[in-house]
Amino acid sequence: MSSDIRFTDFKSDKQPTWCPGCGDFGTMNGMMKALAETGNDPGNTFICAGIGCSGKIGTYMHSYALHGVHGRALPVGTGVKLANPDLEVMVAGGDGDGYSIGAGHFIHAVRRNVDMTYVVMDNRIYGLTKGQAPPTSREDFETSTTPEGPKQPPVNPLALSMAAGGTFIAQSFSSDSQRHTEIVRKAIEHDGFGFVNVYSPCVTFNDVDTYDYFRDSIVDLAEEDHDPSDRDAAKEKILDADKEHQGVIYQDEDSVPYSDLHGLDENMAEIPDGAPEDAMDLVREFY
């Protein structure tokens, strides 16, 4: 890993096709800055993504990447990290991808505590399919398919993570560049599964959860006397539905990653001595 890496080294030559003003721009920039600040580089970084507006992030970032199917980014990321622990694995997705069809994978990725980072771009809308209500929408959020609102309480992903035994639970705002980068950096540095739910406004289909709304509503835990190692205090913040918190809400300082508990004998990405001469030809078939 090089100390000379800049965040711009993580930018690919592909121009994002997100709507102008989309919160995902800020989310991605913070991810790239955090990777550079933690000493990573494109050659040791693997980005996994699913379906949705966030799904192309691996195309826009210069690193190893895989654009998976809807809701399945976390199993791919888990497999990559266990096969090659030397890689910095970051999984990116949206609230629909992660908390709807991918909800089961989310719970088990949390409880396994594999040493990787999961960044969710939570815009509280299905943007790619033109504006339906996802699991994080408010009960009265009106869309073309829910004209009177979903009439269901929104999913609380932070509470799901805590209940599943999460060891790092955080939340950030894509427009607050410095804080967002700092929070993602802490998730990368955490020994275990670093989960960051990011308020990433959709400027096209969500006129409720806007930049102005979050700027007016966010309570930054950096400005409060909050101890992220205090589990009871973290639960209180997580279950406070009346506030939008930003910061590291909970971190288990004694976290032990999955690989340390169930260690691998060797890096599965390495071709062992004595392997057949055509072993790399077989590997290349799966590139």
What's residue 130's pLDDT? 84
141/95 Cα distance (integer angstroms): 15
91/89 Cα distance (integer angstroms): 7
Query: Is the Cβ–Cβ distance between 200 and 226 less than 8 Å?
Result: no
Work out the number of other CB atoms within 10 angstroms of the CB of residue 267. Answer: 12
What's residue 267's pLDDT? 75
What's residue 41's pLDDT? 95
Query: Is the Cβ–Cβ distance between 69 and 105 less than 8 Å?
Result: no
Token look-up 């020994």 returns 191
What's residue 3's pLDDT? 60
Tell me the helices (H) and strands (E) count for the chain, helix number first. 11, 8
The domain limits of the chain are: 7-284
Work out the number of other CB atoms within 10 angstroms of the CB of residue 33. Answer: 21
Handedness of CA 247, 250, 254, 255 (dihedral sign): negative
What's residue 265's pLDDT? 63
What's residue 19's pLDDT? 94
What's residue 117's pLDDT? 98
Q: Which overall architecture, per CATH, does domain 7-284 show? A: 3-Layer(aba) Sandwich (3.40)
State pTM to two decimals. 0.92
170/159 Cα distance (integer angstroms): 11
Weakly modelled stretches of the chain, pLDDT under 50: 1
